[in-house]
Amino acid sequence: MTDNIRVLCFTSCGTKVWNMSSSPNDSLCVLTIHAHPDDEASKGAPTLALYHDLGVRTVLVCCTGGEEGDVNNPALKEPGQPFHGLDAAEEKALLARLRPAELDAAAKVIGFHHVEMLGYRDSGMADSPTNNNPSCFHMADMNEAVGKLVAVIRRERPQVLVTYNEDQRGYPHPDHVKVHDISVLAFDRAADDEWYPEAGEPWQPVKMYYSTWSRMRLTAIHEAQLRLRGKSPFDETWFDRLDLDSQITTRIPVGQFMYARSGALRAHKTQVDENEPFWFGLSDDELAEVYPFDDWVLAKSLVRGAPLEAGQYEDDFFRGIRPSK
């Protein structure tokens, strides 16, 4: 038997009601929005693998092609390897050709049902000349970029959006900032038939989450590497960053899905050095023992689940959308 949940939202356009099936899982969808290829690997990959395993439709929107990235794997510059002997322009050109295939491989590891490229060029790091490229994401017209995302939301009909938070001081890349900006607007505009009428039938996502690298997780991994390896790649500058753990609302148990993170990172061969302890200082099993969670911030919700006690966290993106487990 399939239950129906009636979701009420009070908006500037009045009260709207959506009926959505609470079961089976194949009626559920989570859509995650990232700036560049490899962001999907480093931010919450185990959670998306978990939901794929549960039968939830998982969709990735990647806003740029990552053309302005660097070759971070020194092995690829050795003799006989593809980047050996290339000048800077040749290196960028080859990188742009390789990154789509890396993203495809990573998406298969995680288990995304669909990958949507929003079609913008990587803007490069903040204050770099590439920020002014008219094709880059940073320079994209806001309404146009939001409209592209709204079209994907209306087609895929996710209950849950996953994006970046508004505080990007730890990594102030202009593309990450813009991902947040278009996601917040698209969450509301996707349901408003006055916006982008050509983009399909309106659809209201009902929850939006922000990814976060929590201080709790950082501390646990740092201490484990000191204990098990005798050193850690996380120096005091990491612990000088703003601690946003008080904003965390949701901890999803993903110990069995750490392979999605490590496997997807390895798929991005140009971006990730397999010998780098920042990424691979702990094995999947060690990481699952040390910190078997992905942490998230519930930024918007149009549904109400059962109250949580003080100190409790959600453990499911779809809490309040489908019946309690």
Residue 52 maps to a domain: yes
- Across 268-284, b (16+ Cβ under 10 Å) vs e yields bbbbbbeeeeebbbbeb
- Token pair in block for residue 164: 């970046």
Average pLDDT, the chain: 90
Residue 49 maps to a domain: yes
pLDDT value at residue 133: 94
Helix (H) or strand (E) holding 77: none
Q: What percent of the chain has pLDDT over 70?
A: 90
CA 254 to chain centre: 15
Q: Which CATH number goes with the domain that contains 110? A: 3.40.50.10320
At 215, give phi and psi (nearest 5°).
-65, -35
Amino acid at residue number 206: V
Residue 249 maps to a domain: yes
* Per-residue pLDDT tens over the stretch 264-305: 999 999 999 999 999 999 999 999 999 999 999 999 999 987
**pLDDT bucket at 20, cuts 50 / 70 / 90:** very low
Helix (H) or strand (E) holding 178: helix 174-189
- List the domain range (segments joined by +) for residue 143: 21-301
CB 303 within 8 A of CB 206: yes
Residue 3 maps to a domain: no
Higher-scoring residue by pLDDT: 184, 127? 184
Say how far apart CA 99 and CA 85 lie, in whole Å.
Answer: 19
Rounded to two decimals, the pTM is: 0.90
Placement of tokens 């009902």 in the chain:
206
* Per-residue pLDDT tens over the stretch 39-95: 999 999 999 999 999 999 999 999 999 999 999 999 999 999 999 999 999 999 999
Count up the domains in the chain and report the number: 1
Residue 168 maps to a domain: yes
CB 213 within 8 A of CB 271: no
* Per-residue pLDDT tens over the stretch 223-254: 999 999 999 999 999 998 888 899 999 999 99
**pLDDT bucket at 169, cuts 50 / 70 / 90:** low
Residue 276 maps to a domain: yes
Pairing of strands 4-11, 29-34: unpaired
Residue 6 has pLDDT above 60, yes or no: no
**pLDDT bucket at 26, cuts 50 / 70 / 90:** low
Residue 82 maps to a domain: yes
Residue 307 maps to a domain: no
- Token pair in block for residue 250: 């949701």
Total residues found in the chain within this entry: 325
